[in-house]
A and B are shown apart, each in its own frame.
Chain A
Amino acid sequence: MPQYNKRIVITGVGVISPIGNDIHSFWEALKAGRSGVDYITRFDATNFPCKIAAEVKNFAPENYIEDAKRIRRMDLFTQYALAAAKMAIDDAGVNFEEEDRSKIGVILGIGIGGLPTLEHEHTVLLQKGPSRVSPFMIPKFIPNIACGEIAMTYKLRGPNYCVVSACASSTHAIGNALQWMRCSDIDMMITGGSEAAVTPLSVAGFSNMGALSLRNDEPKKASRPFDKERDGFVIGEGAGILILEELERAKRRNAKIYAEIVGFSATDDAYHITAPEPEATSVVSAIKDALKDAGILPEQVDYINAHGTSTPLNDKIETLAIKKAFGEHAYKLHISSTKSMIGHLLGAAGAVELIATVLCVKNNIVHPTINYTTPDPDCDLNYTPNECKEKIINYAMSFSLGFGGHNAVIVVKKYE
């Protein structure tokens, strides 16, 4: 079992999500089981097989970013990242004037990046020719620019890069940030993820591979992880940012402490570009590796925030993985899927779901998996259906499984 000299805690969180653009609203919506899914407004989806998405509502970038010119130069995912970062930094009560900014880094997970910019500029290229393509196109669409913009805003000169692993991106990013905190003399990491890729290409691409729910007549019921009638995920957008610090340092500055991050693992299925490996071998090993990293036994886990996409295959294989890794304890722990309410935030999913997990741990409440009406014999665990449950949560895990077989698991522990 690895020994780490430092204990790493979460001292601030910020979120932009389909169910709320601040932590309080987000948490209240999660407890209430509110769905953020509705008809797509980002473009005219009339001729698209899938017409629904979990979009962020009422987002005003000027509330978070002072310079109007900077906003113009940012794709939406970067604006979300900056907004969530501002809220997390304010939440953590950090004063960068008192910090060594060369020891503060930013690592985010972003799966796709500036697809809206790419699609717009491609249309300009085809309609008006190469000389009209914006000089800002490249810096707007590359995913890492969100990390760069956060550094520029707060003059942070520590480690800074973007992690990409599809739907596991931000879980891997947070794990990476954890490793920097544990194994170097970096003082603070700003980590998490962002995504805003509800675009014609994206919706068309995901629908044509059969990944999206086509429940267009009942948008709020479309995301139904583990339910027998599930037919695919609902694409979502948003950002989640967490501030990581070493425990003693956090205590010295009287920081609020949400939870401790105690474990991280990463494996790959080595199987198929999109389908999960049927025996869940690498998901099981990711779970076991994460438990070992955390130094705990399977029976100590109280709650799992599942990847739970609401696709026929993921939910079945993920259930199998949980049973194989936990044995009988699989039937005792609580599971829920944040995606039932916020949809699939792609690269940002891991971060926003970890924030949901941490809020559950802090408040001793498991948020529900909504739209659970018909049990599936292949998915027979306790998914906390429809209503939240009060439960003392000491240890919780968050799973993210990305296209390409990328598996990432984080373990968090209650801080008291």
Chain B
Amino acid sequence: MMSDIDIENKVKEIIVEQLSVPAEKVKKESHYVNDLGADSLDTVELVMAFEEAFDIEIPDDDVTKITTVGETIEYIKKKVAEKAS
């Protein structure tokens, strides 16, 4: 079962790879579109990468709620915990 730190690191790793941004730029408050230069296609692919990495489903309604790195980390932690229980 992934620890909170593992989840946080994995999320950041995926973002660095998908958006080709340096790791230092990826902070909890970073907004995908405004801060990290993501466009609509990037966000779709990011969500797919998260689903794949954590073996979870992220419904479309939830996608609109996770617009920053920090929101994503919290969301995934919750989803992973739900899966475990």
Q: Which segment of B1-9, B27-35, B41-49, B73-81 sits at the interface?
A: B41-49
Residues of B within 8 A of A256 (CB): none
**Contact across chains for B48 and A132 when beta carbons are under 8 A apart:** yes
Residues of A within 8 A of B48 (CB): 131-132, 134-135
Q: Does A253 contact B (CB under 8 A)?
A: no
CB nearest neighbor in B for A133: B48
Q: Does A209 contact B (CB under 8 A)?
A: no
Kindly state the separation between the CA atoms of A132 and B48 in the bound complex, as whole angstroms: 7
Q: Count residues on chain B whose CB falls below 8 Å from chain A CBs.
A: 9
Least distance between B27 CB and chain A CB atoms (Å): 19
Residues of B within 8 A of A132 (CB): 48, 52
**Contact across chains for A134 and B19 when beta carbons are under 8 A apart:** no
Q: Count residues on chain A whose CB falls below 8 Å from chain B CBs.
A: 12
Least distance between B85 CB and chain A CB atoms (Å): 24
**Contact across chains for A136 and B19 when beta carbons are under 8 A apart:** no
Q: Does A416 contact B (CB under 8 A)?
A: no
Residues of B within 8 A of A68 (CB): 20
**Contact across chains for B45 and A69 when beta carbons are under 8 A apart:** no
Give chain B's interface residues, CB within 8 Å of chain A.
19-20, 37, 41-42, 44-45, 48, 52
Task: Say whether chain A's binding surface is mostly helix, strand, loop, or mixed.
Answer: helix
Q: Does A249 contact B (CB under 8 A)?
A: no
Give chain A's interface residues, CB within 8 Å of chain B.
67-69, 71-72, 128, 131-132, 134-136, 139
Q: Given A131-B48, A134-B48, are A69 and B37 neighbors across the interface (CB < 8 Å)?
A: yes
- 17 pairs, CB–CB < 8 Å, chain A vs chain B: A67-B20, A68-B20, A69-B19, A69-B20, A69-B42, A71-B20, A72-B20, A128-B52, A131-B48, A132-B48, A132-B52, A134-B45, A134-B48, A135-B44, A135-B45, A135-B48, A136-B45
Residues of A within 8 A of B37 (CB): 69
Kindly state the separation between the CA atoms of A371 and B20 in the bound complex, as whole angstroms: 45
Residues of B within 8 A of A72 (CB): 20
Least distance between A249 CB and chain B CB atoms (Å): 37
